[in-house]
């Protein structure tokens, strides 16, 4: 009876160690992932709170039967924004653009250029940064 008791204790002990290893190996990465997610969310929240843009001027110039736009955007926030990650919408339709600078630094301007836009009358242009901060302005063609 002495050996069977020792063998049973050893088997139960090994089972407990294996169970603890499985629990720890799945719990620690999950806790680490949650922590990293909170850090990323905190960074995004900081960027959103400290970002702001303003469309200073919209200049429309005729181009045959269409028109071109030069949109001067000012960064009035404190975060540097990457202009290639912006979206430009004319009356709700995303339009391709070129920009005079790669980054829009705080308290600086960038000129967004749009070519061959069709339509006449009053239109709305909206600029959206990569973190969702936006501004819009109406212009007439």
* Confidence check: pLDDT of 27 > 90: no
Q: How far is C-alpha 71 from the chain's CA centre? A: 22
Strand pairing class (81-82; 103-104): antiparallel
pLDDT of residue 40: 87
Q: Which H or E run contains 110?
A: strand 109-117
128: β partners? 87, 134
Phi-psi region of 44 (alpha: psi -120 to 50; beta: other; left: phi over 0): alpha
pLDDT of residue 1: 57
Q: Which tens digit of pLDDT belongs to each residue from 34-84? A: 888 888 888 888 888 888 999 999 999 988 888 999 999 999 989 999 999
Domain at 52-140: CATH code: 2.60.40.10
| Position 2 confidence tier, pLDDT thresholds 50, 70, 90 | low
User: Taking the domains of the chain in order of start, what are their residue ranges?
Assistant: 1-49, 52-140
């Amino acid at each position: 009876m002495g050996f069977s008791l020792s063998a049973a204790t050893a088997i139960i002990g090994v089972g407990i160690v294996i169970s603890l290893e499985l629990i720890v190996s799945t719990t620690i990465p999950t806790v680490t992932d949650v922590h990293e997610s909170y850090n990323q969310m905190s960074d995004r929240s900081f960027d959103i709170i400290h970002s702001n843009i303003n469309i200073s001027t919209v200049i429309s110039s005729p181009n045959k039967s269409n028109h071109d736009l030069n949109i001067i955007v000012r960064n009035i926030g404190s975060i540097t924004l990457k202009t290639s990650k912006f979206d430009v919408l004319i009356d709700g339709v995303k339009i391709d653009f070129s920009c005079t600078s790669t980054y829009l630094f705080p308290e600086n301007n960038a000129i967004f250029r749009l070519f061959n836009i069709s339509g006449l009358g009053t239109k709305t242009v909206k600029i959206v940064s990569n973190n969702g901060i936006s501004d819009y302005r109406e212009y007439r063609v």
